Amino acid sequence: MVDLSDLRPGMKIKIVDHWGPGCYPSWDGRMDHWLGKIVTVLGVDEYPDDVFGPSVHIVEDRAEGLGNGWCWFPAAIDCIVQDEELLPKDHDFSPAADTDFLSILPGRPTKQIQKKEERT
């Protein structure tokens, strides 16, 4: 589990390998394909009155859930990834333009992260 106050947009985190207490995955298994994956932090939401508490949003799942990504709670985050050797070699996680992070706002087109081979 990670202290969410340590997270910043663009940081890499690893999702847990198995769901446990406090992870709050989707009831129908639609979040299961993220288990064990390394993903990129989009932002941290801190809602002190929320039933589940603060959560993280990630870049890679922003088209899932209700169309704005899933809420990832502290128990679902295994660790902050600081070792570049652990990062997938076939993905470019950097935005193609400075405005890609803004594409999640209503009315803006959503760009999907592509494998490096697909961009060339």
Q: Which positions ≥6 away from 7 have C-beta within 8 Å?
A: 13, 41, 44, 56, 80
How many structural domains comprise the chain?
1
Q: Is residue 40 part of a domain?
A: yes
Structure tokens at 24: 């709050």
pLDDT at 116 over 80: no
Q: How far is CA 82 from CA 16, 40, 48, 97, in A?
A: 16, 12, 29, 24
Give residue-wise pLDDT tens across range 20-56.
999 999 999 999 999 999 999 999 987 755 677 889 9
Q: Is residue 113 part of a domain?
A: no
Q: Does pTM top 0.85 for this prediction?
A: no
Q: Is residue 105 part of a domain?
A: no
Alpha carbon distance 95, 112 (integer Å): 10
The predicted structure's pLDDT at residue 45: 86
Q: Is residue 112 part of a domain?
A: no
Q: What is the CATH number of the domain that holds 63?
A: 2.30.30
Which residue in 20, 4, 112 sits closest to 56, CA to CA? Answer: 4
For 12, the domain range is 4-84
Alpha carbon distance 26, 23 (integer Å): 9
Alpha carbon distance 64, 111 (integer Å): 13
Q: Is residue 118 part of a domain?
A: no
Alpha carbon distance 6, 37 (integer Å): 19
Q: Is residue 43 part of a domain?
A: yes
